[in-house]
């Protein structure tokens, strides 16, 4: 079937327009570039488990907040290795990991002294493990990560489609990148119910 010459020109123009739109979309700034946090003088992080929100503070002033997901059993406080729970309490960032399996990550100081006291009283950890946790906390170092209390709790990327971690706090990768850039080792992290 033969089409009039005007139709060919219209089809060609539409193709250029569609290609132009595709090019314009391809050249648009990535959403990853949109998440940026300012330099922080006195950073702190508060994670609210009930509302699944991570808040970034600078000297008590809320700077930004991000949606999060938690462990597979998010309602309760972490008690033992493998329970799928996200811990509650006061922690600090003991390491920044640029080679995380989950984009980037910030290691949290779990188990903390309160967890060590509970673990010793409940017979979950030895006196040596208890003392190692206490010593790490006094120097803001990495606490033992392989006790019956659990460990390896991180804030990391990987997405927020559902509560899928083993107890960690997960963000979208672009938000994790922004957080990673401004949060130093030693930053206070409070995890609330």
pLDDT, one tens digit for every residue, the chain (193 residues): 554 444 444 444 443 444 444 333 333 333 434 679 999 999 999 999 999 999 999 999 999 999 999 999 989 999 999 999 999 999 999 999 999 999 999 999 999 999 999 999 999 999 999 999 999 999 999 999 999 999 999 999 999 999 999 999 999 999 999 999 999 999 999 999 9
The answer to whether position 63 is within a domain reads: yes
Find tokens 């998010």 and name the residue. Answer: 74
Domain carrying residue 179:
35-192
The answer to whether position 17 is within a domain reads: no
| CATH at 61 | 2.40.440.10
Q: Which residues of 67-79 are buried (b: 16+ CB within 10 A; e: fewer)?
A: ebbbbeebeebbb
The answer to whether position 1 is within a domain reads: no
Backbone dihedral angles phi then psi of residue 183, each to the nearest 5 degrees: -95, 115
Please compute Rg for the chain using Cα positions: 23
Q: How far apart are CA 63 and CA 136, in angstroms?
A: 29
Q: Are 95 and 87 in contact (CB under 8 A)?
A: no
Q: Is 98 exposed, middle or buried (0-12, 13-18, 19+ CB in 10 A)?
A: exposed
Beta strands in 20-168 (DSSP E): 43-48, 53-58, 61-67, 89-97, 105-108, 154-156
Q: What pLDDT score does 11 carry?
A: 40
The answer to whether position 6 is within a domain reads: no
Q: How far apart are CA 103 and CA 52, in angstroms?
A: 20
The answer to whether position 46 is within a domain reads: yes
Q: How far is CA 188 from CA 109, 148, 165, 183, in A?
A: 10, 24, 22, 10
Q: Closest Cα partner for 106 from 119, 94, 91, 89?
A: 94
What's the structural domain count of the chain? 1
The answer to whether position 114 is within a domain reads: yes
The answer to whether position 86 is within a domain reads: yes
The answer to whether position 2 is within a domain reads: no
Q: Are strands 43-48 and 188-192 parallel, antiparallel or unpaired?
A: parallel
């Amino acid at each position: 079937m033969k089409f009039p010459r005007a139709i060919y020109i219209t089809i060609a123009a539409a193709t250029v327009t569609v290609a132009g739109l595709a090019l314009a979309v391809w050249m648009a700034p990535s959403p990853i570039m949109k998440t940026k946090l300012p330099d922080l003088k006195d950073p702190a992080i508060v994670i609210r488990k009930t509302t699944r929100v991570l808040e970034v503070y600078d000297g008590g002033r809320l700077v930004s907040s991000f949606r999060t997901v938690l462990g597979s059993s998010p309602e309760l406080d972490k008690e033992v290795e493998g329970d799928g729970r996200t811990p509650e309490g006061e922690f600090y960032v003991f390491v920044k990991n640029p080679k995380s399996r989950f984009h980037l990550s910030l290691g949290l100081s779990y188990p903390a002294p309160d967890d060590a006291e509970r673990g010793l009283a409940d017979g979950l950890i030895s006196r040596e493990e208890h003392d190692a946790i206490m010593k790490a906390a006094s120097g803001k170092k990495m606490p033992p990560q392989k006790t019956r209390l659990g460990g390896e709790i991180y804030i990391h990327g990987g997405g927020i489609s559902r509560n899928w971690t083993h107890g960690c706090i997960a963000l979208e990768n672009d938000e994790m990148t922004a957080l990673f850039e401004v949060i130093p080792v030693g930053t206070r992290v409070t995890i609330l119910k």
